[in-house]
A and B are shown apart, each in its own frame.
Chain A
Amino acid sequence: KNQVEQSPQSLIILEGKNCTLQCNYTVSPFSNLRWYKQDTGRGPVSLTIMTFSENTKSNGRYTATLDADTKQSSLHITASQLSDSASYICVVSAQQAGTALIFGKGTTLSVSS
């Protein structure tokens, strides 16, 4: 069964600190993996998209890694800011007909001052 598991479920950090969010998946055949940021009451916004051949991709203070062998991805946030408080969703695409997207439940990050 295609699944995407994220950890931790929630996280609280101090402003300026770094953090890493995890995503494990059992999706086959794999097409790509995306990280989205979703502010409370808003739609998700894409942070990064990685294909099978990409190991690392950065978007400002956000760096995503992908290990296709172990089927794991991480999202590292550097020098956190209050505006980073949001839910971070890992989404894995399968190369198949139909819907093909499997969503994780998300990690809720709270950055406090």
Chain B
Amino acid sequence: NAGVTQTPKFQVLKTGQSMTLQCAQDMNHNSMYWYRQDPGMGLRLIYYSASEGTTDKGEVPNGYNVSRLNKREFSLRLESAAPSQTSVYFCASRALLNTEAFFGQGTRLTVV
């Protein structure tokens, strides 16, 4: 049972490069989320998809785009990476809006 799978686990980008973080869940969950974790800032919500076909901005959406490709997959794209986007990124999913979220193992992204 894989749960929530994020790829890649580590990435180094140069300023201005683009990349897509992939997230897939095999639990048939309806809602999916992207967070970034920075020291002292906690977990901040970037974007979320409450159900397949919908996406909404979270607290820190600037510089990011998302795609809910299907019920299983929710990708996060950085069009032009900046050093301020250096962070650990987490994807999460949950079945219903009153249930717990399950998290992936995180992606450590460094922008130089």
Partners in one complex: no
Residues of chain A at the chain B interface (Cβ within 8 Å): none
